[in-house]
């Protein structure tokens, strides 16, 4: 009989210890209970936590039927019941009075997590009961604790944030949030980041302000390598916790919501309509979204590639991949355009570092330094009398030949196809092995040889896709109005596509008149173009426009 009583006593004591362990293990290792206690829990979260608490409460009550030690009965039991009621009062207000009653049985001799839990529950119970004096006293008591638990410190931070909102100091509230969020970035406390953002939304005075915590968290996650699409999906779920759902629309006055709506639409559009998706991505990139600029580049060559790489370097802290990776990418583009000095400038810091891409940067530098660098004016032998190019000075690699042909085409685009430029094109076309089809095609077009240009433009489009140069050149050779109008619509008089803008406009007007179009209408169009540039694209085009007006 004595042995049975001893076993029962031990069983009661162990049962209480198990209940305590179950409560604190769940409470300090997952976001399940913080989701309920910090604010804006879902109905499912409340049901799950309520079920857990009732099970643990039953085990505690059952343990009190046995012979517990004095310490367990006078300290552990009221402490555990205070904690359970303190959690439950967040969704069942009547439990706050019971929490206060249990807390009143405890002295102030607690330390560590127990001490911070007790003070935290006193503060929250006072807030729920509307006792501001007791809440302030609890806040002051918390400041004297030496090692409060991070979760309790976060509850106190929410109290301070709420007080700042009450005083109308939104800026201070945001600073308090950002400071505590930074502290929660540690591995052991990251489970509190989402509940904390939910809590900020709960105490925020407006719906717009409620979004601050969630968008700050989303930005942090993306910066640490999380997939933007997955983070956006979570953002939508978080915002759905608000009593009044947020209308996620591109027309929203809140730029954060509008940009989120664009990103969500892009995610759906990218697979089905790449062109539309790229147009939407460049809008995001211009607004400061470096990840959107990356996505444009990941889709391959497009009309937005050059702008995207420039925007990406403007927002280096908002990208997923290493900035060195994109400097290597940009250096590759520089080499393709024969801008070797700029490429070396990009590569030099990477080669001097000890980063992931050091060896690749060194390799590219060696390749660039081994290239034949020649300018168009140094590459040719000329006739003694007129200085017109007649031969190439020596042999050049295909890469060097491509660079020379690109220089010759650029001169033709800016100066016109005069005798010197025509001679360089003709000589280079006789040494064209390994040169890109789009450059060969453009050289033939400039010389008026559309029969030679057409198949090369088509090959360039097949290999590299429909670039502005290839579409415009082929449209010119085929007298294709519809394609040429697309060139007008996709180019500008103010950027690197300006040559194609003026060429496409002058061709459409010439064809219009050749087909019997009204001269007055053509003159009106030219006058409208003069307002964009009085020189009508410069020496290459102004005489052609003037001919239209005569």
Token reading at 121: 């529950």
pLDDT at 301: 66
pLDDT at 384: 62
Phi-psi region of 536 (alpha: psi -120 to 50; beta: other; left: phi over 0): left
pLDDT at 371: 55
The answer to whether the beta carbons of residues 201 and 214 sit under 8 Å apart is yes
Bridge partners, residue 381, by sequence: 391
Bridge partners, residue 380, by sequence: 392
Average pLDDT over residues 482-510: 89
Average pLDDT over residues 62-85: 87
- How does DSSP assign 306-375, residue by residue? HHHHHHHHH-GGG-SS-HHHHHHHHHHHHHHTT-HHHHHHHHHHHHHS-STTHHHHHHHHHHHHTS----
* pLDDT, greater one: 92 or 309: 92
For residue 391, what are the CA distances in angstroms to 7, 385, 435?
A: 108, 15, 18
CA 339 to CA 336: how far, in whole Å? Answer: 8
* pLDDT, greater one: 174 or 394: 174
Please name the residue that has the structure tokens 């102004």: 542
pLDDT at 300: 64
Please name the residue that has the structure tokens 């995610």: 267
Kindly report each contact of residues 495-498 with a partner whose C-beta sits within 8 Å and lies 24 or more positions away, as own/partner: 496/306, 497/468, 498/537
Q: Write the pLDDT tens digit of every residue in 99-150.
A: 999 999 888 778 888 899 999 999 999 999 999 999 999 999 999 998 899 9
pLDDT at 173 over 80: yes
This model's pTM is above 0.95 = no
CA 129 to CA 195: how far, in whole Å? Answer: 23
Confidence of residue 425 (pLDDT cuts 50, 70, 90): very high
Most confident option among 207-211, 316-320, 358-362: 207-211
pLDDT at 409 over 50: yes
pLDDT at 139: 95
| pLDDT, averaged across the chain | 85
H/E segment holding residue 382? strand 380-382
Average pLDDT over residues 369-383: 67
pLDDT at 373 over 70: no
pLDDT at 6 over 50: no
* pLDDT, greater one: 538 or 298: 538
Q: What is the dihedral of CA 23, 29, 33, 36, to 10 degrees?
A: 170
CA 406 to CA 233: how far, in whole Å? Answer: 46
pLDDT at 275: 65
Mean pLDDT is lowest, of 7-21, 122-136, 195-209, 242-256, for 7-21
CA 470 to CA 461: how far, in whole Å? Answer: 7
Spell out the residues 6+ positions from residue 362 whose beta carbon is closer than 8 angstroms to its own. 351
Confidence of residue 434 (pLDDT cuts 50, 70, 90): confident
The answer to whether the beta carbons of residues 365 and 344 sit under 8 Å apart is yes
pLDDT at 3 over 50: no
The answer to whether the beta carbons of residues 49 and 87 sit under 8 Å apart is yes
Average pLDDT over residues 243-261: 85
Average pLDDT over residues 184-191: 86
Class of domain 380-549: mainly alpha
DSSP letter, residue 392: E
Most confident option among 178-187, 221-230, 384-393, 490-499: 178-187
Average pLDDT over residues 17-28: 78
Mean pLDDT is lowest, of 48-52, 255-259, 485-489, for 255-259
* pLDDT, greater one: 440 or 335: 440
Token reading at 242: 């608000």
Confidence of residue 269 (pLDDT cuts 50, 70, 90): low
Q: What is the dihedral of CA 333, 335, 338, 340, to 10 degrees?
A: 120
Greatest C-alpha distance within the chain? 129
- How does DSSP assign 222-244, residue by residue? HHTT--HHHHHHHHHHHHTTSSS
Domain ranges of the chain: 2-148, 380-549
Handedness of CA 427, 459, 295, 485 (dihedral sign): positive
The answer to whether the beta carbons of residues 407 and 375 sit under 8 Å apart is yes
Percent of the chain's residues with pLDDT above 90 = 37
pLDDT at 8: 40
């Amino acid at each position: 009989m004595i042995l049975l009583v001893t076993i029962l006593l031990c069983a009661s004591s162990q049962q209480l210890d198990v209940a305590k362990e179950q409560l604190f293990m769940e409470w300090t290792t997952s976001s399940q209970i913080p989701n309920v206690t910090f604010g804006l829990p879902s109905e499912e979260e409340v049901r799950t936590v309520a079920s857990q608490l009732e099970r643990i409460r039953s085990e505690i009550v059952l343990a009190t039927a046995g012979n517990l030690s004095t310490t367990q009965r006078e300290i552990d039991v009221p402490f555990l019941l205070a904690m359970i009621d303190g959690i439950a009062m967040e969704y069942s207000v009547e439990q706050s009075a019971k929490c206060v009653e249990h807390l009143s049985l405890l002295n102030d001799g607690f330390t560590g997590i127990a001490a911070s839990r007790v003070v935290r529950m006193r503060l929250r119970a006072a807030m729920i009961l509307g006792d501001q004096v007791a809440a302030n006293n609890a806040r002051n008591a918390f400041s004297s604790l030496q090692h409060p638990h991070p979760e309790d410190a976060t509850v106190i931070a929410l109290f301070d944030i709420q007080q700042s909102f009450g005083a109308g100091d939104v800026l201070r509230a945001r600073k308090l949030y950002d400071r505590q969020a930074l502290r929660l970035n540690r591995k052991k406390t990251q489970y509190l980041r989402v509940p904390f953002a939910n809590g900020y939304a709960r105490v925020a005075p407006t719906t717009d302000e409620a979004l601050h915590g969630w968008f700050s968290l989303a930005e942090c996650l993306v910066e640490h390598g999380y997939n933007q699409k997955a983070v956006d999906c979570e953002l939508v779920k978080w915002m759905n916790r608000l009593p009044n759902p947020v209308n996620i629309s591109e027309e929203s006055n809140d730029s954060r919501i509008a940009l989120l709506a664009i990103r969500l639409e892009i995610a759906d559009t990218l697979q089905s309509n790449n062109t539309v998706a790229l147009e939407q991505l460049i809008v995001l990139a211009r607004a400061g979204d470096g990840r959107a600029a990356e996505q444009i580049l990941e889709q391959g060559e497009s009309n937005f590639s050059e702008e995207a790489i420039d925007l990406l370097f403007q927002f280096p802290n908002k990208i997923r991949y290493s900035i060195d990776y994109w400097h290597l990418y940009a250096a590759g583009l520089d080499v393709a355009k024969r801008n070797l000095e700029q490429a070396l400038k990009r590569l030099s810091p990477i080669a001097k570092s000890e980063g992931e891409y050091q060896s690749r940067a060194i390799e590219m530098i060696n390749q660039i330094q081994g290239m034949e660098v020649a300018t168009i004016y140094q590459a040719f032998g000329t006739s003694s009398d007129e200085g017109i190019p007649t031969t190439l000075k020596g042999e050049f690699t295909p890469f060097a030949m491509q660079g020379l042909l690109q220089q010759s085409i650029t001169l033709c685009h800016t100066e016109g196809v005069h005798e010197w430029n025509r001679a360089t094109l003709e000589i280079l076309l006789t040494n064209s092995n390994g040169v890109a089809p789009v450059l060969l095609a453009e050289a033939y077009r400039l010389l008026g040889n559309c029969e030679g240009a057409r198949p090369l433009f088509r090959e360039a489009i097949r290999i590299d896709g429909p670039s502005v140069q290839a579409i415009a050149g082929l449209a010119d050779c085929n007298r294709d109005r519809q394609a040429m109008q697309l060139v007008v619509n996709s180019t500008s008089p103010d950027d690197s596509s300006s040559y194609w803008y003026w060429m496409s406009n002058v061709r459409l007007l010439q064809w219009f008149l050749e087909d019997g179009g009204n001269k007055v209408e053509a003159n009106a169009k030219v006058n409208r173009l003069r307002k964009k540039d009085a020189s009508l694209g410069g020496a290459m085009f102004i005489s052609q426009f003037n001919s239209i007006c005569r």
